[in-house]
Amino acid sequence: MSVHTADSRFSFQLPSLSYIDTQWEEPNLHTAAPQAARKDGLAAWLSRRVAAFIAWRRNNAAMSELVSMSDRDLMDIGMNRGDLVRAFDPALNEDLRQRGA
């Protein structure tokens, strides 16, 4: 009897959490050049809200992928269940920002 292991439930995509791509750990390093756009007004407010919503959705998708992983899979990438909150909470990553400054 052969077992079919290529099941769709085993496929998942992880966010790029390597130390080569610091987008998830140090977001201030990836800021765009300052723009001369106005920082007040309805369009700017709406733009900030849309950007925040997109970031929230991206982080939520990444968190759900990590939560769905087993403890062994998390250990393989150097994380544990306690690290999941730290990975997405900017207040808990303040020490990383201070080291980069």
Note the pLDDT of residue 20. Answer: 54
Q: Which of 18-32, 42-56, 71-85, 86-100 is predicted least confidently?
A: 18-32
Write down the pTM of the prediction: 0.51
42-68 and 81-88 helices, crossing angle to 10°: 170
pLDDT band at 93 (very low <50, low <70, confident <90, very high): confident
One DSSP character per residue, 10-76 reads G-------SSS-TTTT-GGGGPPPP----SSSHHHHHHHHHHHHHHHHHHHHHHHHHHHS-HHHHHH
Give residue-wise pLDDT tens across range 34-83: 565 567 889 999 999 999 999 999 989 999 999 999 999 999 999 899 88
